[in-house]
């Protein structure tokens, strides 16, 4: 039989006169137990939020970039679709492409086998669905010599441009390791690379004064209220990006030539915002945030980025813009019918290193130097 009472009378009397709220201690015990469980699981299975710090400046200045390891180790999905084929060994006396095929204006010094290898790779990089006929109108009849299609003429120029990038701009595309670029760096299996751009400013001509290049969500402004003409001003028209003035009360008039205005400052912000989104990094990856204006306090990455700006300016003005008359109407810009142009994101596509540092010239040395 169960006892009528579990506790003596004195205990029941004391407990009745001194009630206690057990919910508070229970909650604290639960929190402490949960924390202990999480700690044990993190030690046993690993921290799901583990991160790495990339130091970009002097120690003690807080100049570092933090990334979750999961994000760092997540591969660029384009890498899985990349096709590469190592060069064929060259036999003595093997015929050259220029001696075998008609109208070979570039890469004619390659052997027939290596020339065909590269052409096949370019097809897979740029036009995997259309095949050879994308550039060669007579491909089905075995005629590859005619320049009837604009795509062939453009492709020839792009091969030369790729060689210039790898040769003349070696310090930018091989800043950390020899990786270079090839057609796939930008195209990724598409006829037209993603993240190209066209001129669109001014976006609102109906406003007096400042031409309302900003306060409109556009792709060029990364859908912010910042100016939409940063790419064309800085990466096409060579306008100076520097706007910092250390004078407290500057005497210049905004109407004077060469004087930076608030609009120039906001346009610089727009360009820097574009850089950050293009590379997946923040400001201190290149700059010391206490002195953006001081080149003596920047990081090594600043020099690489500066070369990249100069490279893109040259590519747009010397290679891409001159192709305008070759393109059909549907390939031109929607506002000014201008040629498509490149910028940082055209290659980087959100990663610090395009294709996360995949070596793009290891199998294609013919694209790494300027040749015939």
Predicted confidence at residue 367, as pLDDT, reads 96
What pTM did the predictor assign? Answer: 0.81
- DSSP reduced 3-state for 18: coil
By CB atoms closer than 10 A (0-12, 13-18, 19+), residue 357 is middle
- DSSP reduced 3-state for 262: helix
- The reply to whether 314 falls in a domain is yes
Over residues 145-157, mean pLDDT: 96
- What confidence category does residue 212 fall into, taking pLDDT thresholds of 50, 70 and 90? low
- Annotated binding-site positions: 119, 132, 135-136, 158, 172, 183, 186-187, 272, 283, 286-287, 344, 347-348
The pLDDT mean for the chain works out to 87
Over residues 273-299, mean pLDDT: 88
| SS3 of the chain: helix, strand, coil, percent, to 5 | 45, 5, 50
Over residues 305-314, mean pLDDT: 97
| CATH code assigned at 199 | 1.10.468.10
- The reply to whether 207 falls in a domain is yes
pLDDT for residue 51 is more than 90: no
- The reply to whether 124 falls in a domain is no
- The reply to whether 192 falls in a domain is yes
SS3 for 311-342 is HHHHHHHHHHHHHHHHCCHHHCCCCCCCCCEC
Total domain count for the chain?
A: 1
Predicted confidence at residue 168, as pLDDT, reads 96
- Annotated binding-site positions for heme: 119, 132, 135-136, 158, 172, 183, 186-187, 272, 283, 286-287, 344, 347-348
- The reply to whether 135 falls in a domain is no
Give the lowest-confidence range in 154-158, 198-202, 249-253, 290-294: 249-253
Tokens describing residue 110: 């390659």
- The reply to whether 186 falls in a domain is yes
Boundaries of domain holding 266: 173-245+256-362
- The reply to whether 305 falls in a domain is yes
pLDDT for residue 166 is more than 90: yes
């Amino acid at each position: 039989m169960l006892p009528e009472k579990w506790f003596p009378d004195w205990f029941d009397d004391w407990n009745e006169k001194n009630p206690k709220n057990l919910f508070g201690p229970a909650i604290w015990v639960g929190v402490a137990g949960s924390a202990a469980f999480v700690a044990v699981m993190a030690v046993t299975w690993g921290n799901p939020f583990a991160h790495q710090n990339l130091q970009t400046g002097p120690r003690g200045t807080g100049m570092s970039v933090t990334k979750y390891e999961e994000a760092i180790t997540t591969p660029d999905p384009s890498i899985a679709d990349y096709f590469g084929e190592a060069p064929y060994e060259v036999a003595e006396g093997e015929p050259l492409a220029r001696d075998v095929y008609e109208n070979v204006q570039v890469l004619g010094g390659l052997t027939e086998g290596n020339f065909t290898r590269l052409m096949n790779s370019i097809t897979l990089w740029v036009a995997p669905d259309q095949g050879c006929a994308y550039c060669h109108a007579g491909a089905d009849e075995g005629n590859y010599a005619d320049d009837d299609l604009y795509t062939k003429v453009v492709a020839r120029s792009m091969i030369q441009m790729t060689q210039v990038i790898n040769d003349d701009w070696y310090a930018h595309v091989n800043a950390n390791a020899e990786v270079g670029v090839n057609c796939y760096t930008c195209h990724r299996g598409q006829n037209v690379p993603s993240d190209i751009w066209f001129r669109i400013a001014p976006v609102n001509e109906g406003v007096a004064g400042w031409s309302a290049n900003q306060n409109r969500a556009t792709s060029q402004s990364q859908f912010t209220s910042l100016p939409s003409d940063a790419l064309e001003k800085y990466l096409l028209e060579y306008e100076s990006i520097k706007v910092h003035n250390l004078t407290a009360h500057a005497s210049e008039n905004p109407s004077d030539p060469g004087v930076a205005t608030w609009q120039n400052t906001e346009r610089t912000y727009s360009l820097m915002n574009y850089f950050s989104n293009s590379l997946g990094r923040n400001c201190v990856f290149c700059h010391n945030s206490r002195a953006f204006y001081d080149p003596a306090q920047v990081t090594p990455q600043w020099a690489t980025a500066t070369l990249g700006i100069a490279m893109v300016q040259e590519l747009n003005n010397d290679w891409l813009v001159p192709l305008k008359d070759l393109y059909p109407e549907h390939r031109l810009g929607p506002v000014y019918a201008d040629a498509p142009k490149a910028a940082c994101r055209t290659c980087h596509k959100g990663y610090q290193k395009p294709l996360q540092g995949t070596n793009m010239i290891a199998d294609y040395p013919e694209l790494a130097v300027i040749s015939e």
